[in-house]
């Protein structure tokens, strides 16, 4: 009986010592099922959080731009070219009475 308890104690002590040494040197820790668990470094975690925040802000900005582009395409996107052509064919005055050739130095 003492032999079995001794082997269990030595195995447990060895496992604890192994994990302590690995943690001290920054290696991944071994859990009780043989899997590995990485140690969270606070500087690395803060850098990742900052990068994550920046990427979320960039994604939000891109989503806002996407909404504007979708409105342009779905609301008036296909009739926009027709409106531009209609303006080109219209008389040489704008709606407020200012001639479109205002910058020209021609006298009538």
Give domain limits for the chain.
23-89
Give the integer Cα–Cα distance in Å for 72 and 37.
50
pLDDT computed for residue 86 by the predictor: 78
Phi and psi at residue 43, to the nearest 5°: -65, -45
Q: Note whether 68 and 61 are within 8 A (CB).
A: no
**3-class DSSP assignment, residue 16:** helix
pLDDT band at 1 (very low <50, low <70, confident <90, very high): confident
pLDDT computed for residue 105 by the predictor: 55
């Amino acid at each position: 009986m003492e032999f079995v308890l001794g082997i269990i104690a030595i195995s447990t002590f060895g496992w604890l010592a192994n994990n302590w040494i690995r943690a001290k040197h920054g290696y991944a820790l071994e859990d009780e099922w043989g899997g590995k668990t990485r140690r969270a470094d606070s500087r690395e975690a803060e850098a990742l959080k900052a990068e994550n925040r920046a990427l979320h802000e960039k994604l939000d900005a891109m989503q806002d731009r996407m909404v504007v582009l979708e409105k342009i395409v779905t609301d008036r996107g296909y009739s926009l070219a027709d409106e531009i052509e209609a303006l080109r064919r219209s008389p040489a005055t704008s709606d407020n009475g200012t001639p479109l050739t205002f910058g020209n130095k021609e006298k009538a």
